[in-house]
């Protein structure tokens, strides 16, 4: 299977990451091959959608045998740009930022927090586990020196726009915005993804109220 990258929607990208998680799990369980029906049971997507998604990238399972687990993992890693470790910086070393840096799940998928940045003198110079908290003033020089491409924002919402305006977008290509300030999905060549945890609760509240009857 060739890791061709046709233009794909965010919905498909999200499904590919689901497949990847299930495939990694299957690999740990020692499964060399996985059928689309088994993948479907594990990740909850329809088998025909799975086959269609994967065929877009030239991946076809063997009839009666399924997909080669390792080969598909390697190719999904290539498609999703996960083959090399990625260094990430976080801005805003408060409660949410600290929890994210401490979360081991990022390391296991090749993302590493190189530094956290903050403007609070009481925090600058300290560490969250092994990650140093540095002065926000040094952000862009750090980004340039370490070729940082991904930034995670966990500052108060009121600070978001000011910070985004000053990010060196020559290097930074992806921003994960955990503040409640909604940013455009593209700005100065940066891809921005807004994740408002409170909003997710509002969505689930609506579903519970309207979809459970």
Q: Does 50 bind ligand ATP (CB under 6 A)?
A: no
**Spatial contact of 189 and 171, defined as CB atoms under 8 Å apart:** no
Q: Does 95 bind ligand ATP (CB under 6 A)?
A: yes
Position among 19, 118, 124, 131 found at the interface with ligand ATP (CB under 6 A) = 118
| Count of residues touching ligand ATP (by CB under 6 A) | 15
Looking at beta carbons only, is 13 or 161 nearer to ligand ATP? 161
Which regions of 29-110 does DSSP assign to beta strands (E)? 33-34, 67-68, 86-91
Q: Pick out residues in 174-193 that bind ligand ATP (CB under 6 A).
A: none
Q: Which stretch binds ligand ATP (CB under 6 A): 15-23, 46-54, 90-98, 143-151?
A: 90-98
Q: Pick out residues in 125-154 that bind ligand ATP (CB under 6 A).
A: 136, 154
Position among 94, 142, 149, 174 found at the interface with ligand ATP (CB under 6 A) = 94
- Dihedral sign for Cα 136, 141, 142, 148, please: positive
User: How many residues are given for the chain?
Assistant: 213
**Spatial contact of 74 and 105, defined as CB atoms under 8 Å apart:** no
**Spatial contact of 112 and 106, defined as CB atoms under 8 Å apart:** yes
Q: Does 159 bind ligand ATP (CB under 6 A)?
A: yes
Q: Does 114 bind ligand ATP (CB under 6 A)?
A: no
Closest CB 93 distance from ligand ATP, rounded Å = 5
How many CB atoms are located within 10 Å of the residue 125 CB?
10
The Cα–Cα gap between 124 and 92 comes to 11
Closest CB 104 distance from ligand ATP, rounded Å = 20
Local structure of 92: helix, strand or coil: coil
Beta strands 131-135 and 111-118 are parallel
Q: Does 91 bind ligand ATP (CB under 6 A)?
A: yes
Q: Does 121 bind ligand ATP (CB under 6 A)?
A: no
Position among 75, 92, 134, 164 found at the interface with ligand ATP (CB under 6 A) = 92
**Spatial contact of 177 and 194, defined as CB atoms under 8 Å apart:** yes
Adjacent-strand bridge partners of 177: 153, 194
Q: Which residues are near ligand ATP by CB under 6 A?
A: 91-96, 118-120, 123, 136, 154-156, 159
């Amino acid at each position: 299977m060739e890791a061709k990258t046709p233009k794909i929607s965010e919905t498909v990208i999200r499904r590919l990451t689901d497949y990847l998680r299930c495939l990694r799990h299957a690999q740990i369980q020692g499964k060399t091959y996985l059928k689309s029906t088994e993948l479907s049971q594990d990740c909850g997507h329809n088998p025909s959608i799975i086959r269609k998604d994967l065929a877009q990238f030239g991946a076809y399972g063997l009839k009666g045998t399924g997909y080669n687990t390792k080969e598909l993992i390697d190719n999904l890693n290539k498609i999703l740009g996960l083959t090399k470790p990625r260094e990430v910086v976080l801005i805003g070393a408060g409660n949410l930022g600290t929890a994210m840096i401490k979360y081991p799940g990022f390391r296991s998928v090749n993302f590493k927090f190189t530094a956290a940045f903050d403007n609070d003198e009481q925090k600058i110079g300290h560490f969250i586990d092994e990650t140093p908290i540095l002065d926000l003033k040094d952000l862009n020089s750090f980004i340039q020196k370490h070729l940082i491409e991904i930034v995670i924002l966990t500052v108060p919402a009121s600070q978001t726009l000011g910070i985004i305006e000053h990010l060196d977008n020559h290097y930074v290509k992806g921003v994960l915005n955990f503040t409640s300030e909604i940013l455009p999905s593209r700005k100065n060549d940066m891809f921005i993804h807004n994740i408002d945890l409170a909003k997710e609760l509002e969505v689930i509240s609506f579903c519970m109220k309207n979809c459970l009857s």
